[in-house]
């Protein structure tokens, strides 16, 4: 098996996605830039907004952003995928277990 025939591995946080050659993940512009797509612990809202703005720029130039977005929506992913945050996916009607932005803004009951 040559290097070109082997599946590609894309490491996203603690998750490793194995993609067969020719799949959309092999064409993703975000390879090696996971720090833009997944928040560090205790990230402040202003830092999150800046990080996601940079991620959105990359997604805007990615030939497979629609495939990426569909994958995230189908698999209930966290992080920034295909130009969308988990909050945006939640607001678009796609279930996410605990969308960070929406959850943080919910009124607290006394």
What domain range is 16 assigned to? 3-105
Is 59 inside any structural domain?
Answer: yes
> Residue 77: phi, psi to the nearest 5?
-80, 150
Name the domain count of the chain: 1
Percent of the chain with pLDDT over 90: 40
Is 69 inside any structural domain?
Answer: yes
d(C-alpha 11, C-alpha 30), whole Å: 11
Q: Which pTM was predicted?
A: 0.67
Report yes or no: 8 and 21 within 8 Å, Cβ to Cβ: yes
pLDDT for residue 20: 54
Reported as a single tens digit per residue, the pLDDT across 57-86 is 999 999 999 999 999 998 888 899 999 998
Mean pLDDT of 42-57: 94
d(C-alpha 56, C-alpha 104), whole Å: 21
Is 110 inside any structural domain?
Answer: no
pLDDT for residue 100: 59
Is 70 inside any structural domain?
Answer: yes
d(C-alpha 98, C-alpha 100), whole Å: 6
């Amino acid at each position: 098996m040559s290097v070109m025939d082997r599946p590609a591995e894309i490491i996203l946080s603690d998750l490793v996605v194995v993609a067969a050659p020719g799949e959309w993940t092999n064409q993703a512009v975000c390879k090696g830039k996971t720090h833009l797509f997944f928040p560090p612990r205790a990230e402040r809202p202003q830092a999150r907004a800046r990080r996601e703005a940079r991620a959105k720029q990359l997604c805007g130039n990615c030939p497979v952003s629609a495939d990426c977005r569909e994958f995230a929506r189908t698999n209930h992913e966290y992080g920034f995928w295909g130009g969308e945050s988990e909050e945006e996916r939640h607001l678009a009607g796609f279930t996410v277990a605990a969308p960070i932005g929406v959850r943080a803004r919910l009124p607290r009951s006394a």
